[in-house]
Amino acid sequence: MSDATTIVETPHRYTAAFAGSIELRWQTWWESENTYRQPNPGEPGFDASKPKFYCLDMFPYPSGAGLHVGHPEGYTATDIICRYKRMKGFNVLHPMGWDAFGLPAEQYAVQTGVHPAVTTRKAIDNYRRQLKRFGFSYDWSREFATIDPEYYRWTQWIWLQAYHAWFDPTKKQARPIDELIARLDRSDAVVAIEGGEARWSKCTPLQRQQHLDRHRLAYLGVQTVNWCPKLGTVLANEEIIDGRSERGGFPVYRMPLKQWMFRITAYAERLVEDLAIVDWPESTRTMQTEWIGRSDGAEVQFETMRSKDDGSHGAMRMRIKLTELTAALASPSAGLLQEIDQRCRATPGLEVDVSIAGVFLGSKHLSELLTLQGRVRALGAVAMVVDTDELQRGVFRVSKLDKLLRVVDEEHTIKVFTTRPDTLFGATYMVVAPEHPLVARALADPAAATDVDNLAAYAEIAKNRADVDRMAESKTKTGVFTGYYARNPATGQPIPVWTSDYVLMSYGTGAIMAVPAHDERDFEFARVFGLPIQQVVEVTGAPWTGEKATSGEGVGINSRNEEVSLDGRPTAEAKSIIIEWLDRKGVGKKRVNYRLRDWLFSRQRYWGEPFPVAFDADGAHHAVRADALPVRLPELIDYAPIESDTPLPPLGKAMGWVESTAGAVGLDAAELRATALVRRETNTMPGWAGSCWYYLRYCSPTENSRFVSREAEQYWMGGRGVDLYIGGAEHAVLHLLYARFWHKMLYDLGHVSTSEPFGKLFHQGMITSFAYQRRDKSLVATDLVDESTDGKFIERATGEPVAQVIAKMSKSLKNVVNPDDIIAEYGADTFRLYEMYLGPLEASKPWNTRDIVGVFRFLQRAWRLAVDERTGELLIAAETDATIERTLHRAIHKVGEDIERIALNTAIAALIELVNAATRPTGMADPSQGGLTRDQLDRFTRVLAPFAPHMAEELWRGLGHTTSVATAPWPTVDAAMLTDNEIDMPVQIQGKLKARITVPAAATPSDIERLTLADAEVQRHIAGRPVKKVIVVPGRMVNLVVG
């Protein structure tokens, strides 16, 4: 019927060309009518009586290749949900924009020689065109790109907020840095500076800055960074996979470098804890938790020695309680001061570090402490030091005064972190990372029994090796003895200190106590180097054989000294006993350690946001004033990365921009004269910067006095933040962790109203494709394979059978699908339906072009149900068919329910069932007779609208409406229509289905039982056996247990 004559007869047939024409028509109309424009509170047309729904897509990174089929998967899902929510009476915020700064655009630009601004804008235009062709209901008036100066102006502003803030450990939140400065001014504390310590009032401006940099949330710090020479930039830990760059897979080397960092570690605890208050996939919450990597354990100090017999380095360690201190002050000749005196006399030249935090108390204790200081000074060479690290951690409070004072010897102490302090008695040696300061000290110490050549060589190799190599060689343990010993505080025995690259400087303290009996790595190392192994735990279910480490929990043995015993104690108990003992002795304490490292935020690249910072002649940094933003990215002709042994940012080439004056850059006049010469920061921010807060900007994208209008932010982000955020699981730790961190800083500083940005998160699965595999597991490109009629796949060249397997789409396998092609062949409505019908949104699913025709046929059937293909007139049934009415109610109910739980594949199945039910009795037999009444068609059009908005709009217009179906209310469901008067119930005998009976819906269980036993078919199956038990589940089934 599609020959020349019949085509003329059915000009209104739903073909791809027809779909394309109505789709373009309605897209144009929506745009001219501003159908999807969502006004903000206070704007004309805003309806304050409606609840809000903020539904966000992860905005795309526009590449030259255009959209792939993965993009519209999530975007179609959010579009369906948004359209549904609008019809349910919500104010829906559904925006789209462009994540446009970043490495790929720059690499592409370097390759092609076209400026990234040009290629990126072109890619954006292409993406926008493609997205509009899908008929997505974005409010395009809110569109922006992260490369817009009006946008990155505020990215820089947010960075400045972090720069001007510190993390107050007692409040556990970010506070303005001015508060810290005021505190330091007040207390005039002794602070650590390069090469020693000094009073705050005595510090130079540069020294003060160095101290503040240890507290700022955005700070300049020397860090061992991940340097990727191929990419010409450093990378964040999160951007490295298996020792290679996430992008490109190039080797990454470690080197120290001064870089801008984010103090994300300060938020480690809150970033873990708040995962409990968000509705996120379990897998993603787990991943973030593990990435942050909280470990509970203890820090233990080991005193080092030059030889086994050496009593000490002359270090003295003691802990002075306030009560003792008070006693000492009351009676200068009392034991405490005498002891210090004696020790000082016994060891000429001894230096004792006294950690005193009391100076911060500003109370009467201060004078007492200063008195002591005088006394101690009189006794020997004593320096007063404020332990600023501890202060920062909030350890010192007035109530804890009895823990304040202790004499420590930092220089000759190795600190370790352990999760198993209960195994301390089994620590038979120690290992420090090759980068640990002790290694350098051993090399420089002529008195130590160090094999200098070996140690130096080992440290050098380990340091310069890329992490890839380090891992590749991880099979056997290597290491060198440092020549030093340490005293096990529990046993009092000297134990050797080794260095090995299996201990990482970046985790914990960069040193471990090795307990070979109960740690597999330590065991292996001890075996290789013949170190002693001492069992100290009887591990439950793992009897000690000496052949391998037993690492579980159990009961302590061989663990006692004069003061403490762990013998017979279960692991958990033993841990707290030993920690308490260590704490009392002043050589250890409870500690929480995180795997998370501070976030390296500098990149040696051109295509990114410039930092709003410049350096003066002394090298001190100064922030750009907020009113002088944005710091515009200078136009560079040559933006290629500079090849060098050390990272050199390309912005360094913009000499006229880099060399400037304080006034021109916009620095604070109170800090520097306007004419002062300054050098701008030439590093740029990484690609993540723009995506850390774009969801906030959408709330009021044209606001120019603030990063987001306060009112708009409170309205759209109120409650739980973004109500639904859909995007790929590949961002589970990177983007989603960074954005949460920025959001929490902004929350602490009072700029946003929720502590978490994304209340509900959902990951769409990956759309994969089929590929073909030979028997030797090698893959064959799709276009080299034929399918035979019996469903087998044959490689054309060889005639050999190949297996169909699921693989990622890739150019080499020739299985990449371009959305433009599919839309040209079937239309956007079909494309949308197909991707949603493929399977559950969260599952990874293979694209199979052959299957598209299924949903296309559905749309054709739906169209034919409503429209006379010869005339284009609506087909309206004269009378309401009760069965169809019932089916319609059920479909409306099911579709709404399924959209709410993001089960879009089954929602579409319900629509298909409805259309099948309404068309099949009629079929092609009588095309002049419609299957639905006008009222039914009206409701059907509305439930269809979220899925196939173009066809729905066309039908809606045909029904006589003049406004968009997008603004129509969702049809209501009559609950009475969802149940039948009579229910068909299965009857099981011994749990197996044997018969079915029909019972009234209102039947009671006893009615049902009676009806069941009265049924002839049931009686036949019982076959005279006694019925021992009858289980009736009303509305479900009946089960008979017979003897």
Partner RNA sequence: GCGGGCGUGGCGGAACUGGCAGACGCGCGGGACUUAGGAUCCCGUGGGGCAACCCGUGCAGGUUCGAUUCCUGUCGCCCGCACCA
| Site residues (CB under 7 A) for RNA, limited to 163-202 | none
* Neighbouring residues of 309: CB distance < 8 A, sequence distance ≥ 6: 494
Contact 3, 10 (CB under 8 A): no
Mark the segment that binds RNA (CB under 7 A) among 570-578, 708-716, 957-965, 1027-1035: 1027-1035
Q: For residues 475-514, which are near RNA according to CB under 7 A?
A: 477, 501-508, 510, 512
Closest CA to 502 of 429, 395, 596, 594: 429
1003 three-state secondary structure: coil
Q: For residues 911-930, which are near RNA according to CB under 7 A?
A: 912-913, 916, 919-920, 923-924
Q: For residues 808-867, which are near RNA according to CB under 7 A?
A: 837-840, 843-846, 848, 850-851, 853-858, 860-861
Closest to RNA by CB, 274 vs 913, is 913
Q: Nearest approach, Cβ of 861 to RNA (angstroms)?
A: 5
- Whole-angstrom distance, CA of residue 78 vs CA of residue 576: 51
Q: For residues 786-805, which are near RNA according to CB under 7 A?
A: 789, 791
Among 195, 545, 1029, 1043, binds RNA (CB under 7 A): 1029
Q: For the window 686-725, what string marks contact with RNA as x by the rule CB under 7 A?
A: ----------------------------------------
- 1041 in contact with RNA (CB under 7 A): yes
Q: For the window 221-260, what string marks contact with RNA as x by the rule CB under 7 A?
A: --------------------xx------------------
- Whole-angstrom distance, CA of residue 741 vs CA of residue 267: 7
775 three-state secondary structure: coil
Closest to RNA by CB, 505 vs 517, is 505
- Whole-angstrom distance, CA of residue 320 vs CA of residue 368: 14
Closest to RNA by CB, 315 vs 838, is 838
Residue type at 295?
S
Closest to RNA by CB, 532 vs 718, is 532
Contact 577, 569 (CB under 8 A): yes
Q: For residues 567-596, which are near RNA according to CB under 7 A?
A: 593, 595
Q: For residues 888-907, which are near RNA according to CB under 7 A?
A: 903, 905-906
Q: For residues 381-420, which are near RNA according to CB under 7 A?
A: 417-420
Contact 135, 949 (CB under 8 A): yes
Neighbours of 2 (CB within 10 A): 10
Q: For residues 310-369, which are near RNA according to CB under 7 A?
A: none
Q: For residues 594-633, which are near RNA according to CB under 7 A?
A: 595
Q: Nearest approach, Cβ of 215 to RNA (angstroms)?
A: 24
Report strand pairing: 845-846 vs 767-773.
parallel
Q: Nearest approach, Cβ of 822 to RNA (angstroms)?
A: 15
Phi-psi region at 508: left, alpha or beta (left = phi > 0; alpha = psi -120 to 50): left
Among 224, 312, 773, 988, binds RNA (CB under 7 A): 988
- 1013 in contact with RNA (CB under 7 A): no
- C-alpha 199 chain-centroid distance: 41
- 81 in contact with RNA (CB under 7 A): no
Residue type at 134?
F
Q: Nearest approach, Cβ of 71 to RNA (angstroms)?
A: 19
Contact 211, 183 (CB under 8 A): no
Closest to RNA by CB, 233 vs 905, is 905
Among 521, 710, 870, 886, binds RNA (CB under 7 A): 521
| Residue bearing tokens 């054709």 | 860
- Whole-angstrom distance, CA of residue 210 vs CA of residue 621: 10
- Whole-angstrom distance, CA of residue 335 vs CA of residue 396: 25
Q: For residues 725-764, which are near RNA according to CB under 7 A?
A: 729-730, 732-733
Residue 350 tokens, joined: 């001894």
- 474 in contact with RNA (CB under 7 A): yes
Among 290, 453, 926, 982, binds RNA (CB under 7 A): 290
Cis peptide before 205 (omega within 30 of 0): no
- Whole-angstrom distance, CA of residue 955 vs CA of residue 27: 15
The dihedrals phi and psi of 711, each to the nearest 5 degrees, come to: -65, -45
Closest to RNA by CB, 417 vs 956, is 417
- 442 burial (CB, 10 Å; 0-12 / 13-18 / 19+) is buried
Among 159, 291, 581, 747, binds RNA (CB under 7 A): 291
Among 113, 992, 1016, 1023, binds RNA (CB under 7 A): 992
- 1 in contact with RNA (CB under 7 A): yes
Closest to RNA by CB, 258 vs 792, is 792
Q: Nearest approach, Cβ of 636 to RNA (angstroms)?
A: 33
Mark the segment that binds RNA (CB under 7 A) among 25-33, 697-705, 874-882, 1028-1036: 1028-1036
- 454 in contact with RNA (CB under 7 A): no
Helix residue ranges per DSSP H, 397-487: 437-444, 452-464, 467-472
User: Can you point out the beta strands (E) in 491-600?
Assistant: 494-499, 511-514, 537-539, 554-556, 588-594, 599-600
- 9 in contact with RNA (CB under 7 A): no
- 212 in contact with RNA (CB under 7 A): no
Q: How many secondary structure helices (H) and strands (E) does the chain include?
A: 34, 41
Residue 925 tokens, joined: 């037999």
- 278 in contact with RNA (CB under 7 A): no
How many residues at the interface with RNA, by CB under 7 A?
92
Helix residue ranges per DSSP H, 88-189: 103-112, 116-133, 149-163, 177-187
Neighbours of 201 (CB within 10 A): 10
Q: For residues 534-553, which are near RNA according to CB under 7 A?
A: none
Closest to RNA by CB, 433 vs 480, is 433
